[in-house]
Amino acid sequence: MSSGYQEFKPSAELQPYVECYWLHRFETVGECESPVQRCMPFGTLELILHLDDNRCNAFFDGQWEKLPPAFLVGLYRDAVQWKTVGSCRKFGIRLRPESALELFRIPIAPLFNQFTDVESYFGSEINRLVDDVYGVQDMEEVVRITEKFLSGLLKNTRSKEHHISQASRLIRQTQGRISIDTLSENLYIGKRQLERIFKDHYGTTPKMYQPIIRFRNAYESFSGMSSTPNWAEVSYKFGYSDQAHFIRDFKEFTREVPTNIFQDQYQYFRLPDKQVRFA
């Protein structure tokens, strides 16, 4: 059996909306079961399509459930465990959260810590993309088809800048270390209005989005290392008050201490900045 994970950069025109495209594959003979994978809360949306007949299973409410052929994952605050039985290819479009409003013109508040099949959220138009990439083996072609679909949506978007977009970008640019006071001052809106905007569009508050982004930056800083990091240095670098604060936040999002996550050799979402670019 073999398994692998790759990321692919979007075109320049789609980079404001799409962080990356990715492929996770598990290849085996018969009904062998993959190692359990853990998807971290990265502060993004994930539009995920199974490229073949077999589908993954995710662990929810104490049991394993078969995932839909194509589904949209909202902002998450928890790590999600999943696995597959038999060979499987899963293609993902990792979207910046403000893309829901800018590209698809829909709020994602109902999907906080949730997921849904794509048609119930986007309507039947999304089936064109699902059908066109189904069964395609060449990842360059999968990305090309996806880019063509998203570029078509982009032509219908308006250039107006929304407060939710500005706030999301500022939080990411500061790695989650900007205060709510400073954020509202930069946007010239009150803190209550800022919180209401986040709740209306994302289903959570800026105070929750901030630590998710800080966690992501801390996680990505050590995910590609070959030896166990100095956790005190990681804590200091990303603005945690001390190592205990960092570990407490890390456990809140993963239910594990950092060392256990780092030493899990079967996690293939370990190199989030390793991308392949197609010509």
Q: How confident is the prediction along the chain (279 residues), in pLDDT tens digits per residue? A: 788 888 999 999 999 999 999 999 999 888 899 888 888 999 999 999 999 999 999 998 889 999 999 999 999 999 999 999 999 999 999 999 999 888 888 889 999 999 999 988 888 889 999 999 999 999 999 999 999 999 998 887 665 668 999 999 999 999 999 999 999 999 999 999 999 999 999 999 999 999 999 999 999 998 778 888 999 999 999 999 999 999 999 999 999 999 988 887 666 554 444 443 433
Query: Largest Cα–Cα distance of the chain, in whole Å?
Result: 59
- The DSSP element (H or E) to which 94 belongs, if any, is strand 88-95
What are the tens digits of pLDDT across the range 253-278?
A: 999 999 988 887 666 554 444 443 43
Q: For residue 143, what are the contacts with CB-CB under 8 A and spacing of at least 6?
A: 8, 21, 278
- Domain 163-263: CATH class, spelled out: mainly alpha
Which CATH code for domain 2-157?
A: 2.60.120.10
Nearest-5° angle of CA 81, CA 236, CA 7?
40
What are the tens digits of pLDDT across the range 66-81?
A: 999 999 999 999 999 9
Q: Which residue has the tokens 């398994």?
A: 3
- Domain positions in the chain: 2-157, 163-263
Rounded to a whole number of angstroms, the distance between the first and last alpha carbons of the chain is: 30
**Per-residue buried b or exposed e for 193-203, using 16+ beta carbons within 10 Å of the residue's own CB:** ebbebbeebbb
Q: For residue 253, what are the contacts with CB-CB under 8 A and spacing of at least 6?
A: 40, 41, 77, 78, 79, 211, 212, 215
Q: Which two tokens stand for residue 196?
A: 């209401």
Number of H helices, E strands in the chain: 11, 11
Nearest-5° angle of CA 234, CA 238, CA 242?
65
What single DSSP character describes residue 171? H
> What is the value of pTM for the model shown?
0.90
